[in-house]
Amino acid sequence: MAFEVLIVGLVPEKPGKTMAAIGIAAGLKKVGFNIVACKPLSIENWYLNYSATIEGINVGKPVSMDVIRFIEALDIEEPYELLNPVSNVTAPLNPEAFLEARSPTSFFTYRYDIFRQIFLSRISLPLRENKIYNMGLLNTSVLNRNFVYVPREILYGLTKRLDNLEKIPSIQAFSNTISLNAAKSIEASIHVLSKKYSIVIIEGYSDDAWPLHPNASIDIVVAVSPGKLLLYDAKKYRLAISLRSHLIPKPKSISLSDIFSLLNPMHVINFPPIPPNALPENIAEKMDEILGLLTRKIEEKTLS
Give yes or no: residues 58 and 147 share one domain: yes
Judging by DSSP bridges, how do beta strands 199-203 and 3-9 pair with one another?
Answer: parallel
Number of domains forming the structure of the chain:
2
The residue from 156, 185, 214 where one domain ends is 185
- In the prediction, which pLDDT does 14 show? 82
- CA torsion, ordered 291, 225, 121, 117, to nearest 10 deg: -170
DSSP tag of 253:
P
Give the whole-angstrom CA distance, residue 292 versus residue 299. Answer: 11
Residue 129: HSE in the Cβ half-sphere, 13 Å Cα cutoff? 0
Give the whole-angstrom CA distance, residue 41 versus residue 88. Answer: 8
Helix (H, G, I), strand (E, B) or coil at 97: helix
Give yes or no: residues 25 and 65 share one domain: no
Parent domain of 139: 42-185
The residue from 144, 161, 185 where one domain ends is 185
The parts of the chain modelled with pLDDT lower than 50 are 251
Give yes or no: residues 23 and 54 share one domain: no
Residues 30-60 have pLDDT tens digits of: 999 999 999 999 999 999 999 999 999 999 9
- In the prediction, which pLDDT does 153 show? 97
Give yes or no: residues 171 and 205 share one domain: no
Give yes or no: residues 226 and 93 share one domain: no
Given a contact cutoff of 8 angstroms between Cβ atoms, the answer to whether 40 and 178 are in contact is: no
Give yes or no: residues 74 and 145 share one domain: yes
Is residue 272 packed enough to be buried (19+ CB in 10 Å), middle (13-18) or exposed (0-12)? exposed
- 3-class DSSP string for 139-198: EHHHHCCCCECCCHHHHHHHHCCCCEEEEECCHHHHHHHHHHHHHHHHHHHHHHHHHHCC
Give yes or no: residues 178 and 46 share one domain: yes
Closest CA to 44 of 66, 75, 60: 66
- In the prediction, which pLDDT does 246 show? 67
Residue 190 included in any domain: no
The residue from 185, 211, 240 where one domain ends is 185
- In the prediction, which pLDDT does 130 show? 82
Residue 191 included in any domain: no
Residue 48 included in any domain: yes
- In the prediction, which pLDDT does 251 show? 45
Give yes or no: residues 26 and 91 share one domain: no
Give yes or no: residues 179 and 68 share one domain: yes
Give yes or no: residues 167 and 255 share one domain: no
- In the prediction, which pLDDT does 146 show? 94
Judging by DSSP bridges, how do beta strands 164-168 and 267-270 pair with one another?
Answer: unpaired
